């Protein structure tokens, strides 16, 4: 099977490399020449565990290649995946489909044989209809089936998620397109993964409903954490106590600084816009978006409070972790951004360390001093804040940290430490929801 991936970012590169690993012949296309040059040199444009090795093996095996030339990439393809970005549109929060539609026009002009054109990007309900219309307009004689196949992989565990997914959702009701999609995913089938076929619009909505539900779960436990702080309860035990109930499940019940990343913020917003356009209010998701937005900056105030009363101008805070979650270098909508801004607005200077995210973070943050490890971030600080739960922060030498700081205050926004261990090392402990 000959597969073309349009867009070689987090989703396109991981999916392309995994499809090649299944034995398909894959070509990944990207407009960004620097990205493609780097990939030709064996350098990954993103940090994702295991990706470098997977790409190298499949390039060497002759199953995976890269190009900036979309026409060359699409020629002869049985399946063309669109995996370009769908960021929030400036001004109104709708999904910006400019890249999807531009790619569609180019694909339509480049098709040389019957092919399925698949939206793997997260796109609002009805986008597949427009993709189909554009293909008919640009290439009236081309035979193409437009299918929705949203991606559910998580950054940091992307390869495992792609190869062993909970389910693969495919939106098409056409028998020929179904047969091609079955052939594309046949290697997964053997692993008995659930390949779920449904209508195209339904598949598009499943992706938004899934992300909105997960964002709701996180936001729910975050609000319960706030209540725990006031009433003297422990949110970790509340999470465990409710998560052990199979109807609820324990995942996405970790209280923290609010969700961020490249998907939840923009996808919840886009779902609100779709609902608004169809005059069907989705009030729960509205509340989730509002609560989460205000929470990120509130984390800045939490850190300031932990430093005590009064003016904090001239003080310094050490920040551990900048990326929106561990095992990625993705900084899009990371909670660290709003938190650091809030600290800087209060006249506090910031020293930060992140194992993989500094290069991306430096493009988004100003006035932050980046240092080489957690101990350098703690040096002379008036508070140290754990923002992202990288493994490297789970077993710090707390006595060394306490000894290096100006004032011994640890704010653990991911609840990775026990209060008693932190206090035994001579630090004041502030977790989330641990009243």
Residues marked as catalytic:
263
Q: Does 10 bind ligand NAD (CB under 6 A)?
A: yes
How far apart are CB 104 and ligand NAD at their closest, in Å? 9
User: Which residues face 147 on adjacent strands?
Assistant: 118
Q: Does 262 bind ligand NAD (CB under 6 A)?
A: yes
- Residue among 313, 418, 3 nearest 187 (CA): 3
Strand order in the sheet with 2-6: 64-67, 25-29, 2-6, 79-82, 115-119, 144-148, 167-171, 194-198
Q: Does 329 bind ligand NAD (CB under 6 A)?
A: no
CB 304 within 8 A of CB 383: no
Among 52, 67, 75, 99, binds ligand NAD (CB under 6 A): 99
How far apart are CB 35 and ligand NAD at their closest, in Å? 6
Q: How many CB atoms neighbour CB 286 within 10 A?
A: 15
DSSP secondary structure letters along 199-227: -HHHHHHHHHHHHHHHHHHHHHHHHHHHH
How far apart are CB 251 and ligand NAD at their closest, in Å? 16
Q: Does 222 bind ligand NAD (CB under 6 A)?
A: no
Q: Does 236 bind ligand NAD (CB under 6 A)?
A: no
Indicate the residue among 99 and 197 with the shorter CB distance to ligand NAD. Answer: 99
Which part of the chain contacts ligand NAD (CB under 6 A), choosing from 5-13, 18-26, 136-144, 294-302? 5-13
Indicate the residue among 70 and 352 with the shorter CB distance to ligand NAD. Answer: 70
Q: H-type helices in 307-357, by residue range?
A: 335-345
Category of 182 on φ-ψ map: left (φ > 0), alpha (ψ -120 to 50) or beta: alpha
Residue closest to ligand NAD, measured at CB: 9
Q: Does 155 bind ligand NAD (CB under 6 A)?
A: yes
Q: From residue 219, how far is each of 239, 288, 296, 335 by CA, in Å?
A: 13, 6, 11, 13
Among 7, 165, 355, 433, binds ligand NAD (CB under 6 A): 7
Among 121, 219, 292, 323, binds ligand NAD (CB under 6 A): 121
Q: How many CB atoms neighbour CB 76 within 10 A?
A: 14
CB 415 within 8 A of CB 236: yes
CB 338 within 8 A of CB 296: yes
Q: Does 12 bind ligand NAD (CB under 6 A)?
A: yes
Q: How many CB atoms neighbour CB 130 within 10 A?
A: 16
Site for ligand NAD in 190-209 (CB under 6 A): none
Which part of the chain contacts ligand NAD (CB under 6 A), choosing from 31-39, 183-191, 213-221, 399-407? 31-39
Question: Token match 């780097």: residue?
Answer: 38
Phi, psi of 402 (to 5 degrees): -60, -40
Which part of the chain contacts ligand NAD (CB under 6 A), choosing from 1-9, 192-200, 290-298, 301-309? 1-9
Among 43, 102, 284, 424, binds ligand NAD (CB under 6 A): 102
Q: Does 107 bind ligand NAD (CB under 6 A)?
A: no
Q: Which positions lie near ligand NAD, rule CB under 6 A?
A: 6-12, 29-32, 35, 70, 83-86, 99, 102-103, 106, 121-122, 151, 153, 155, 262-263
């Amino acid at each position: 099977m000959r597969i073309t991936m349009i867009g070689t970012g987090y989703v396109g590169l991981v999916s392309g490399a995994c499809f090649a690993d299944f034995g398909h012949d894959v070509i990944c296309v990207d407009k960004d020449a620097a990205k493609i040059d780097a990939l030709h040199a064996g350098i990954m444009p993103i940090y994702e565990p295991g990706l470098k090795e997977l790409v190298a093996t499949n390039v060497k095996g002759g199953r995976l290649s890269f190009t900036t030339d979309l026409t060359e990439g699409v020629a002869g393809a049985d399946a063309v995946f669109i995996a370009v970005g769908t960021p929030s549109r400036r001004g109104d929060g709708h999904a910006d489909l400019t890249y999807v539609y531009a790619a569609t026009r180019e694909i339509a002009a480049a098709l040389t044989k019957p092919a399925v054109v698949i939206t793997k990007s997260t796109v609002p309900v009805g986008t597949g209809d427009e993709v189909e219309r554009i293909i008919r307009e640009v290439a009236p004689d081309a035979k193409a089936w437009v299918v929705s196949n949203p991606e559910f992989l998580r950054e940091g565990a992307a390869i495992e998620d792609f190869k062993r997914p909970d389910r693969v959702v495919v939106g098409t009701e056409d028998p020929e397109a179904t047969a091609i999609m079955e052939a594309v995913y046949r290697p997964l089938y053997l692993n008995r993964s659930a390949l779920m076929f449904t209508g195209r619009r339904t598949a598009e909505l499943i992706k938004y409903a899934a992300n909105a539900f997960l964002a709701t779960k996180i936001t729910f436990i975050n609000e319960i954490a706030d209540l725990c702080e006031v009433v003297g309860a422990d949110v970790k035990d509340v999470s465990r106590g409710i998560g052990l109930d199979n109807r609820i499940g324990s995942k996405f019940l970790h209280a923290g600084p609010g969700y961020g990343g490249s998907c939840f913020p923009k996808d919840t917003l886009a779902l609100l816009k779709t609902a608004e356009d169809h005059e069907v209010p989705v009030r729960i998701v509205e509340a989730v978006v509002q609560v989460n937005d205000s929470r990120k900056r509130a984390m800045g105030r939490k850190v300031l409070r932990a430093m005590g009363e009064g003016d904090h101008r001239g003080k310094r805070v050490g920040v551990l972790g900048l990326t929106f979650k561990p095992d990625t270098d993705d900084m899009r909508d990371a909670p660290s951004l709003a938190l650091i801004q809030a600290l800087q607005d209060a006249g506090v200077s910031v020293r930060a360390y992140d194992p993989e995210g500094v290069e991306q973070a430096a493009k988004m943050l100003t006035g932050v001093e980046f240092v080489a490890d957690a101990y350098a971030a703690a040096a002379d600080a008036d508070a140290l804040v754990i923002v992202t739960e990288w493994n490297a922060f789970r077993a710090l030498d707390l006595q060394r940290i306490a000894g290096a700081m100006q004032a011994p205050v640890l704010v653990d926004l991911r609840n990775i430490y026990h209060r008693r261990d932190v206090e035994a090392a001579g630090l004041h402990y502030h977790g989330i929801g641990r009243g």
